[in-house]
Amino acid sequence: MKINFSNIDEVKWLFSNNKAISLIQRENAPLIISFLFLVFKERNKPSYLNSEIASLLSDFLFETNQPKEQYAGTPKHYLDQWTKDGFLRQYYESKNEEALFELTPPAEQAIRWITELNKTEFVGTESRLLQVFNMLKDLAIGVTEDKEKKLLELQKKKAEIENEILRLDQQHIDRYDPTKVKERFLLIEESAIKLLSDFKQIEENFRKLNSKAREDQIKKQLSKGKFLDQVFESQDLIMESDQGKSFRSFWEFLMDQDKQQELESYVQEIFKVPELLEYKDNTLIPRLKINLVDAGDRVNKTTDLLVEQLRKFIELRVYLENKRVAEVIKEIEELALATKNNHPVGNLFIEIDDKPKISLIMERGLYEPPKNPDINSGNLEEGVADSDSSVLYEQLYVNPEVLKERIKLLLRGKKQISLKEISEEIPIEKGLTEIVTYFSIASNLERENKSIIDSELKEKIFYAGDNKTTEVNLPKTTFLA
């Protein structure tokens, strides 16, 4: 629900219903936030067994209540209350008999708000401005279809790289001053913290999907087929949403071994810088790769677990249905045994509501064998074709692999390229057959989100042949890197 913050009633509703705000408004909010920050953020651990977190909370309460008791509740009381209020999530894994506790998205949000209120470090305005500027530039260049603009931008990048290489050759090494080093590091840390917190919301979305699917099955009593259709449609809807596509792209990027090693090498490199040594023991950046992999893996495991739970839920429904069928059969058998020696007398045995439809065997038609046509293949004479048959021997063959390699080559250094741009870079040689092959490749790649075919937009493709230029109108086709 989108809130209109200029409407006082909607803001009141938000304050009454938002769990993150509810946490901050609690009388014992300092206890909740300080303890949750200590165990989940400072110790950088995503979940705890019931015995572990209860022991930690017991020690924390003991220290907090010295010399005067401030919080009289037991660890179990507080953990149960925080779980009930939606600040902690309690769940069981198949391998553990003991419950696990983890932060909920509202708790993550509240902790992030509080920690951002009292930043002791300076605010890196220059780094933020550069980040916004570079993102705007990347977006503007990425969406434009103006070849000249893209070419101009590449030439500018090329010139900058060449100038930097020249300065290095002349022993001019440009290094960030200490202020810029700290500024950019704190911006990286802030972005990484927010990124890791966002995974909680993704997991929560999948759990809501699972809960809604079960409620629909219970309320509507859908058949298994319709129920599964709804479940898979909902899952597809999430995975095809902007959030789902973004997560899939993130996971593919992170699972690239080269990217992992590159990320790890960057982390090791920056902590060799003297200005950042003071941050090394108090930041999550040294464990960033592990944390990202763990967070992404938790989302994948959550989806697998939800599918497994749905499967068990369906099996239970089938078991109950089969049990009911067995009970009905048993009732019929008992009735049959009860009437075995007490069968109906007279003409009254069974009543039919309507006239029975009678289908006699003799009313069916007899089998008729198929008639084999008599084909006379003798006295064949050579005929004369009305058209030129030489075209049958002049068919063109276009190798799709060659075109795929051509697309990869032209995509180097680019995020996307249209079919029209490809035809301008490398002219069409085999006419309509080659264009159709390009279009077929795009159709296959579209399933892998590697191409976009926009039927609402058209583009003109030109090719030369038979001493003339032919124009073909096609849906706008774009290949993605």
User: 148: domain range?
Assistant: 119-174
Does any domain span residue 75?
A: yes
Does any domain span residue 72?
A: yes
* Residues 244 and 131 both lie in one domain: no
- How high is the pLDDT of residue 7? 85
* Residues 241 and 305 both lie in one domain: yes
Rounded-to-integer distance, Cα 461 and Cα 469, Å = 10
* Residues 204 and 279 both lie in one domain: yes
pLDDT digits (tens, 9 = 90+) for 79-109: 999 999 989 988 887 667 788 898 888 888 8
Does any domain span residue 384?
A: no
Does any domain span residue 263?
A: yes
* Mean pLDDT along residues 134-153: 78
* Residues 111 and 124 both lie in one domain: no
Say what the pTM is.
0.45
- How high is the pLDDT of residue 348? 64
Please spell the DSSP secondary structure of 303-366, one letter per residue: HHHHHHHHHHHHHHHHHHHHHHHHHHHHHHHHHHHHTTTS---SS-S---SSPPPP--GGGSPP
* Residues 204 and 326 both lie in one domain: yes
Enumerate long-range contacts of 299-308, CB under 8 Å, 24 or more apart: 299/199, 299/202, 299/203, 299/206, 299/247, 300/251, 302/203, 302/206, 302/207, 303/206, 303/235, 306/206, 306/207, 306/209, 306/210
> Domain of 77: which CATH number?
1.10.10.10
Residue 185 token pair? 């590091």
Last residue of a domain, one of 286, 312, 335: 335
* Residues 134 and 214 both lie in one domain: no
49 phi and psi angles, rounded to 5 deg? -70, 155
> Domain of 460: which CATH number?
3.30.110
* Residues 207 and 326 both lie in one domain: yes
* Mean pLDDT along residues 60-86: 89
* Residues 207 and 328 both lie in one domain: yes
- How high is the pLDDT of residue 243? 58
* Mean pLDDT along residues 112-139: 69
pLDDT digits (tens, 9 = 90+) for 237-256: 556 666 567 767 777 777 77
Tell whether the model's pLDDT for residue 209 goes beyond 80.
no
pLDDT digits (tens, 9 = 90+) for 321-350: 788 888 889 888 888 887 777 776 666 666
Tell whether the model's pLDDT for residue 124 goes beyond 60.
no
Last residue of a domain, one of 335, 364, 383: 335
- How high is the pLDDT of residue 54? 92
Percent of the chain with pLDDT over 90: 6
DSSP state of 392: G
Tell whether the model's pLDDT for residue 354 goes beyond 90.
no
Number of structural domains the chain divides into:
4
* Residues 124 and 110 both lie in one domain: no
Q: Alpha carbon 82 to chain centroid distance?
A: 30
The residue to which tokens 């995020």 are assigned = 415
Does any domain span residue 93?
A: yes
pLDDT digits (tens, 9 = 90+) for 180-202: 787 777 778 777 777 777 777 77
* Mean pLDDT along residues 421-432: 85
Nearest to 52 by CA among 97, 95, 101, 85: 101
**Which range is least confidently modeled, 21-25, 392-396, 450-454?**
392-396
* Mean pLDDT along residues 197-219: 67
Does any domain span residue 342?
A: no
Does any domain span residue 327?
A: yes
Does any domain span residue 373?
A: no
Rounded-to-integer distance, Cα 107 and Cα 36, Å = 9
* DSSP helix/strand/coil, 98: coil
* Residues 106 and 144 both lie in one domain: no
- How high is the pLDDT of residue 82? 93
* Residues 254 and 331 both lie in one domain: yes
